[in-house]
Amino acid sequence: MQKKGLIPPHGGELVNLVVSDARRAELEQAAGTLPRIALQDREQCDLELLAIGAMSPLRGFMNEADFHAVCDAMRLADGTPWPMPITCSVDQATADKLQTGTQVALTDGRDRVLAVMTVEQTYTHDKKKEAEKAYGTTDDAHPGVAIVYGQGDVCLAGKLEVLVPRYDAEFPQYRLTPAQTRAAFEERGWRRVVAFQTRNPIHRAHEYITKCALEIVDGLLIHPLVGETKAGDIPPDVRMKCYEVLIANYYNAKHTMLSVWPAAMRYAGPREAILHALVRKNYGASHFIVGRDHAGVGSYYGTYDAQQIFDQFEPGELGVTPLKFEHAFWCKKSGAMASDKTTNSGKEDRVFLSGTKVREMLSRGERPPAEFTRPEIADILIASMKQ
């Protein structure tokens, strides 16, 4: 009997929008005469993910039919599950100068050409609808909604030819494409892989749930987001030091892999949890950890809304299997990590610290209790706050 391989990508195949060297030379020469559109930070992140196939089956920024289908039903126009709009927008004055078939150069913040788009469609960017449907709120105090409201009023769609997914990419040794990640899994002999999404240092509760998940699969992919985040989040270089030290000291390297996900954080809660799962499916993960308040911010979403949204799809329809974990903590009564499912202890026996309390302790140079975070991680965070 032939051994089964890794989970297929979403839609069946990995998209690759990066052109050949010969075509890149042609486009670089032509780009000097093309209209230029500077992409915002989130759009730059999305372009990189589109280019390398992380957002398969998408082959570019969404057209109007896909935009509305995704907002209304969490599906592309052809019925494929997809939870979040992925758009490229411009102001009305710029859109008025573009006709069907016009080529435009998409650039980064330093006017370097990332891609050439052949415009096939322009359409009104219904920002209120996107906010209400995808984020569950029209409140501009929501960091993701604020970005949507700051985008252009017209969306562009069309063929993308990517010259360079990202210039000056951070963490190049960890910045693996889906194809490279899959190859690394196969080299290790992994078939069933669980992915863990994070934008924070891993504390003891996260360590516990990742290791619980690892018990039922072949390998664990720790896959931190290193793109655009909101003010106040811990910088990615600090977080990467934490991940490296934690894995070196407390995980089995034969069954653990660290790689970065160069995405922008949307803070869209439930819908973003679906996005995070489908993207990790493209990287080769068969399972995906969904914890407490996944991808949430403030009080916009219920504690376990991001787990419940998976139930809106038919069993197996998404392909990737969500592993739903309750809030974990150190239980003094049990002398171990636990959750409401596994202990009958009261609040007085549970070690739980708010983010505010942890930040206050770290700013004073104090380590939080070892039951909450590993001392090596606390020391890295304390040092970063002194810089």
Strand order in the sheet with 328-331: 336-339, 328-331, 350-351
Residue 282 annotated to the active site: no
Q: Does the annotation mark 59 as catalytic?
A: no
Phi and psi at 88, nearest 5°, equal -125, 120
- Going through the chain in order, the beta strands assigned E by DSSP cover 36-38, 88-90, 103-107, 113-124, 154-162, 193-198, 219-224, 256-258, 287-290, 321-324, 328-331, 336-339, 350-351
DSSP 337: E
Pairing of strands 88-90, 103-107: unpaired
- Rounded distance, CA 15 to CA 67, Å? 19
- Tell me how long the chain is: 387
Three-class SS state of 322: strand
Beta strands in 203-253 (DSSP E): 219-224
Please, how many CA atoms are within 13 Å of residue 162, restricted to the half-sphere of its CB?
A: 22
Catalytic residue among 42, 166, 175, 199: 199
Of 200, 292, 359, 367, the catalytic one is: 200
Task: In whole angstroms, give the CA distance from residue 5 to residue 195.
Answer: 17
- The residues annotated as belonging to the active site are 199-200
